[in-house]
Chains A and B, each alone.
Chain A
Amino acid sequence: MIDLGLSARDKKTLIAGATVVGSLFGLSRGLPAVSAWERGRLALAADLASQAAAARAGVRSLTRLRDTLRARQRRLAALDSTLLGGASSAAAAADLASVLDDIARASRLKVAAMQLRADSAPPGALALVAVRIAGVTDVAGLAAFLRSVETDDTPLAVRELAVSQSEPAAPEATPEALRVDVLVEGLARISPEKKP
């Protein structure tokens, strides 16, 4: 062993100095590290606590959510049976045209033209489809057509209406001829296509 020739006092001073330097070094490096670790743990614990609280609330309300979902699914199924349907928006618009054709025939509206409008929609979604009808009828026929459209079980709505009378001062014996242009919208369920 190398003899450094240190006196007992020098040894004590050396040990005390080394201890102080080591303590200061340990504190300066260790405390920030411990503090950072502690902050991380506290943040993680707070985050997990909020997640756990949300999870507990979710699990507690699961039964109620299921009941609500079942009730609303039943209501939606009941309403679905009244909606227009088709494998695509175009098919749903064709379905709407068919319905309107029946109503027009029953209302003595002579259909001159039909224009179908349909935006594409994914399967299972609700889509708005529309049909513009141009035709000729009298006041009674127009009223019957509008009433039938607006009160039909199938949810249809008249969005635009244009009526013109070519001879407003015609004698009463002359049959009335109103040129009618109606835009009717309907809500349709786009059903998924069945694969062959």
Chain B
Amino acid sequence: MTARLGVSVHRGELRGVLVRRARVVWHGRAPAASNDSLGAALACLLRDVPHRRPRACVALGLAFSQLKVIEGLPAVKRRAVAAQLVRENAESFFLRAPNGLVVTDAHRDADGALWAAALDALVVADLLAALRRRGCSRVTMMPYAAAAAAAAGAGVHELCDDGMSVEITVGAGGAITRIRRLPGRDRAECAPPASVLAGLDAAFEPAYRAAVAPIRGPFAWHPPRAARAARLVARAQIVTAAALFIVTMAAAVAAPGVRAARSAARLSRELNAQRSARIEAARVDAELRRVTDQLDRIARFSASRGRVTQLVGALAQSLPDSTALVSLGVDSAEGSFTALAPHAADILPQLSSVESILSPRIVGSVTREAAGAARVERATVRFRRARPR
């Protein structure tokens, strides 16, 4: 909670307390020669306040404020309209003051009765000027009775000030339900709450109650902003809205890029953290490829074994009876042999059954020879080798 300055205004004197965290940290009083010098007295009082610009709450004593039930108003539902009616006809509802009245917002209690408070306009203007000169822009003014009711709690309470006494009845919700002037009582009969004001003069009790009163409570009056201040505020609002618009547009334009940049930074960190694991994975992968390649090569070589031997075996099986090979040559793609057979032409049909022999053909001439007592034919056969599957 920020420090709050509570000021109570009485005939011939102003009293002030500075409250921080519900504790009185400063108190002072300033005499006023007349009601016209209350502003000057407040300026003197403010000089001693140990805070530069406290939030100020001023409770105007019973001599400068009136609080009452407003009767005789037409039936108006809206409280703001009713308040405006009261404000424009203040002298019809309140005792006249020589310098006019400042009327607070109206308040409707649980029974539907309309309440309003009026403050002495001259006193209010003097005090407000003094406070603004000091730099206090956050000012609240209220009748002492309203400030006391907010702090007092439910029940019937007596308030004494400037030789006047009133009795207020506060309801369960903290709102005043009844107020009555008590003629012939003085303030000595009223006792302040001892727990808070221990060691402090009971005369500061109204100032303390003003300091701790709710700022937005009923009957609180807030001075309108000065015209220049209002213009400044309006301009500041426009500038703020424009700045927010520009910032929002810039954020909308740059958001995908910023998001991508953040994502890239996160991924970079992740990649850096996994660097050693990635190097190890790459090394293992490369070694696996090398080993697999060598295993494949050995397997391919093993699969190619035996083809020439199987070809020779198949050739021996397929040649007709009484056929002799004079020569045989086999390389990786082709082969040829020279054979002696009773009928050379019988060789080719037999070779067609051999899978590893393709396109067998007799090359050159077939010659007839005598082999001992037999007549045989000499022929050279050439063929292509089938490719392995």
Binding site for B on A (CB under 8 A): 31, 34, 37-38, 41-42, 44-45, 48-49, 51-52, 55-56, 58-59, 61-62, 65-66, 68-69, 72-73, 75-76, 79, 83, 126, 146-147, 150-151, 155-165, 168-169, 187
Contacts and interface: CB of A to CB of B under 8 A. Distances in A.
Given A42-B257, A150-B305, A168 B324 contact: yes
Given A69-B291, A169-B371, A55 B271 contact: yes
Contacts of B288: 65, 68-69, 72
B309 A146 contact: yes
**Chain B interface size range:** 35 or more
A156 B263 CA distance: 58
A72 B312 contact: no
Contacts of A34: 253-254, 257
Given A38-B260, A41-B260, A59-B274, A158 B309 contact: yes
Interface majority SS on A: helix, strand, loop or mixed?
helix
B329 interface: yes
Interface stretch (B179-187, B195-203, B292-300): B292-300
A69 B297 contact: no
15 contacts: A44-B264, A48-B263, A52-B270, A55-B271, A58-B281, A62-B280, A69-B284, A126-B298, A146-B312, A155-B305, A157-B308, A160-B308, A162-B330, A168-B326, A187-B298
Interface string B304-333: 111111001000000000001111111110
A34 B252 CA distance: 12
Nearest to A152: B305
Interface majority SS on B: helix, strand, loop or mixed?
helix
B261 A45 contact: yes
B302 interface: yes
Given A34-B257, A69-B287, A155 B302 contact: yes
B298 A45 contact: no
A150 B294 contact: no
B277 A59 contact: yes
Interface of B: 253-254, 256-258, 260-261, 263-264, 267-268, 270-271, 274, 277-278, 280-282, 284-285, 287-288, 291-292, 294-295, 297-298, 301-302, 304-309, 312, 324-332, 340, 371-372
A159 B306 CA distance: 9
Given A65-B288, A150-B305, A169 B295 contact: no
A48 B268 contact: yes
B301 A187 contact: yes
A134 B173 CA distance: 125
B271 A126 contact: no
A59 B372 CA distance: 80
Contacts of A79: 295, 298
Given A58-B281, A155-B302, A162 B324 contact: no
A147 B312 CA distance: 11
Contacts of B270: 52, 55
Contact of A49 (B267, B278, B324): B267
Contact of A162 (B268, B307, B328): B328
A162 B327 CA distance: 7
Contacts of A41: 257-258, 260-261, 264
Contacts of B271: 48, 51-52, 55
A65 B278 CA distance: 13
Given A45-B264, A146-B308, A62 B330 contact: no
A44 B340 contact: no
Contacts of A61: 281
Contacts of A42: 256-257, 260
A109 B85 CA distance: 137
A149 to B, nearest CB: 8
Contacts of B258: 41
Contact of B308 (A49, A161, A187): A161
Contacts of B263: 45, 48-49
A168 B340 CA distance: 8
